[in-house]
Amino acid sequence: MEQTALYDTLSQAPFFQNPFPGTGTAPDLSTYPDVWFNSLSKQTKEQLGSVSIYKCPSRRSGGTAYVSKLSSETDHPSSGPIGDYVAVVTKDEEYRHARYVYDVVGSNATLARYSFDKFRGPFRLPVLLSTGSINHNDTYDSTKEDLMKIKGWEIRDTTARWGDGTSNQFIYGEKFIPTHALVTGTEAPLSQRYWDGSYLYADINRPWNVARLIHLDWAGNDPTRIIAKSPNDSYFVDKIPSNVWGKGGFGSHHSGICPFLLGDGAVRPITITISPDILFALAAVDDGVSVSIP
């Protein structure tokens, strides 16, 4: 996107295993992204949030470039540049509880599995490489000591995995943000950042600012509620986004439609009444189902 300066800035962000600059201390999961982002100059923060194609002009014209947590808060990271679009995550129905977390390869070359074969969407998280020894199904993401052992990562998939072709593959969509949660300043409470947080960071419990879920079975009821009908859709407004059920949902400020980006670079307006079966077929990369975009 010809944003070399911003790419270089992100590339220089401290890796999890590094101590914070000048402190000699390990990162704390509850504050790590905020500490890094808030160490940047105001100009750099604004540059990170100035990429115009990350923001929907119908939702915000110009608007806030970035958001930080309230100074009174000590937890709940989601500070960073604002964005309106999220990656499509797709799960097999019977594995809707499976969390979207990393696999880790340790010094003993054992892979800690997290049901990655149950994720059917275009993007799956990379494999983390650790200097520590781990066992099958280790919970390896819970402490800063474990994170200090991570030395790098490897790409898990390429577009060759997209067996249904790029022109029939959803990869990004516009995220639902209720009217009351739209961020208008550089500081916002968690009740807003749950919805309108940074595209720069997510963790195991707060992934909804970078990804939303397309699924065929939502807690056994109302499977059509994947795209919000409006910015004030009560089904979504009354529920804080969840990493299990994905009730953050997709949605836009465009009447009757929600835009999705396809793998070939085309953008298509998708009607909010689209069949959940068609929506799932367009989100899963390898289901072999041929459908036309309505």
Write out the DSSP string of 90-126.
EB-GGGTT-----EEE-TT--EE---GGGB-SS--PP
- Least confident stretch, 53-57, 203-207, 208-212, 273-277: 203-207
Rounded to whole angstroms, how far apart are CA atoms 231 and 254? 9
224: how many CB neighbours lie within 10 A of its CB?
Answer: 14
pLDDT at position 247: 58
Token representation of residue 116: 């990655």
Query: What percent of the chain is modeled with pLDDT above 90?
Result: 14
22 burial via Cβ count (<10 Å: 0-12, 13-18, 19+): exposed
Residue 289 banded pLDDT, cuts 50, 70, 90: confident
Residue 243 banded pLDDT, cuts 50, 70, 90: very low
- For residues 245-255, one letter each, b for 16 or more C-beta atoms within 10 angstroms of the residue's C-beta and e for the rest, the string is ebbbbbbbbee
Token representation of residue 252: 């836009």
Note whether 24 and 155 are within 8 A (CB). Answer: no
Token representation of residue 66: 């970035």
pTM: 0.85
Rounded to whole angstroms, how far apart are CA atoms 157 and 290? 22
9 burial via Cβ count (<10 Å: 0-12, 13-18, 19+): middle
pLDDT at position 153: 81
Q: Which residue has the higher pLDDT, 61 or 156?
A: 156
> For the chain, how big is the Rg over CA atoms in Å?
19
